[in-house]
Homo-oligomer: A and B are copies of this chain.
Amino acid sequence: MADALQQRIDFIKAIDALKEVQRKTYLLTESRFENSAEHSWAVATMALTFASYAPEDTNINRVIYMLLLHDIVEVDAGDALLYDDAARAAKAIQEKEAATRLFGLLPEEQGREFRAIWDEFEAEESQEAQFAAALDRFIPMLHNLETEGRAWRENHVSYQQVIDKNQKIEKASPELWEYMHTRIKVAVNRGWLAP
Contact = CB atoms under 8 A, between A and B. Distances in A.
Interface in A1-38: 5, 8-9, 11-13, 15-20, 27-29, 31, 34-35, 37-38
A193 interface: no
Contacts of A124: none
B12 A45 contact: yes
28 contacts: A5-B53, A5-B175, A5-B176, A8-B49, A9-B179, A12-B45, A12-B49, A12-B142, A15-B45, A17-B28, A18-B41, A19-B38, A19-B42, A20-B29, A20-B31, A37-B37, A37-B38, A37-B42, A38-B38, A38-B41, A40-B45, A44-B44, A44-B68, A49-B106, A49-B114, A61-B61, A64-B64, A64-B68
A146 interface: yes
A114 B13 CA distance: 29
A12 B42 contact: yes
B19 A27 contact: yes
A65 B179 CA distance: 26
Contacts of A68: 41, 44-45, 48, 64
A158 to B, nearest CB: 24
A69 interface: yes
Nearest to A46: B12
Q: Top 6 A-B pairs ranked by shortest CB distance?
A: A41-B41, A37-B38, A38-B38, A16-B28, A19-B38, A61-B61
Contacts of A8: 49-50
Nearest to A34: B19
A126 interface: no
Interface string A53-73: 100000001001100110000
